[in-house]
Chains A and B, each alone.
Chain A
Amino acid sequence: MPDVFTENNQSRKTTPVAAMKEKLHPVTLLNRPASKPHLFSTFCPNPIGVTFETQEPNEKIILLLRRHFITNLRWIVAGAFFLILPLLLLPLILSDDFFNLLVFIPDSYVLVVTLLYYLVVIGYILTQFATWFYQVGIITHERVIDVDFNTLLSRSIAYTEIEGIVDVEVLQGGFLQGLFNYGTVDVQTEGIEANFEFTNIPEPTAVADTLSDLMRETRKRD
């Protein structure tokens, strides 16, 4: 008798993440579809084509995180203000008192100073964007990685194993955090290891939930 249905064994996923997916609660991020990160991605579950420096061969990235984009509002407004500032000051510059002063300064000096001013403002905007872009948090099925830096000149990369996490806390408060659903996830590790803090990330509850699930699964496995 011919088989009506045969199971294709090759199509079954056998990766550790796939095995965990079957066991975990449906709300967990592990069950979300894979996504390809774009320039402004802040919350990227199961990212496609993303790797990091110290990734192990079988290590699968579950979540790629950045600060919520709304947290960039401050420097965007500041940058826009500095870009239009010379135009706002134009009436003052063209007023008699200032104009009399400016006529003695050669045009070439005014041109170079103006160009330098705009390049510095553009540099400020680029630096702020890069600080946001490269400051990422990564959750794999084995570790949590936090790439952090205060300026573009210094960076720190912290790693901790999932089994080393003792507690996960979500800190969310304030009007903007409630409106745009972002907050801080505080990951406490055991012993002398430094605690992790993913600040102002989107969907902090889902992130904490995923970490809790991973902790539970790791303890079951051990």
Chain B
Amino acid sequence: MTDLTQFFSSELLLVAGKGLLLFLIALYAIFSLIIFVNVRRLNDVVQIEHSAISLIVQGVFLLHLLLVVSLFLFGLAIL
């Protein structure tokens, strides 16, 4: 248990963990951005006039992207 305590409390591991987490969040943010751009393009393929459907779908994807970016900034601040 003492070895385990030393392992988890080591500064190096925390810094590596922070780097890895932020890298994963950044990667996921890029992926979310690509998906959002594609969703916007797909809306041009089939258009539904006078309807909030397309706006709702795009809005949800935009919200998701913003949440991922917020998580990255949050992680940067508290980790």
Contacts and interface: CB of A to CB of B under 8 A. Distances in A.
A109 B79 contact: yes
Interface residues of A, number: 38
Contacts of A178: none
SS of B interface (majority)? helix
A49 B28 contact: no
A104 interface: yes
A173 interface: no
Given A104-B9, A116-B28, A123-B32, A133 B57 contact: yes
Interface in A142-173: 147, 152-153, 155, 157
B35 A116 contact: no
A83 to B, nearest CB: 15
Given A108-B78, A112-B79, A126-B61, A50 B47 contact: yes
B43 to A, nearest CB: 8
Nearest to A122: B64
Given A115-B71, A122-B64, A130 B53 contact: no
A37 B53 contact: yes
A156 to B, nearest CB: 11
A19 interface: no
Interface in A77-114: 100-101, 104-106, 108-109, 111-113
The 4 A-B pairs of least Cβ separation, nearest first, read A104-B8, A49-B49, A134-B42, A108-B78
12 contacts: A49-B48, A49-B49, A108-B78, A108-B79, A109-B18, A112-B71, A113-B21, A116-B28, A120-B28, A123-B32, A152-B39, A153-B38
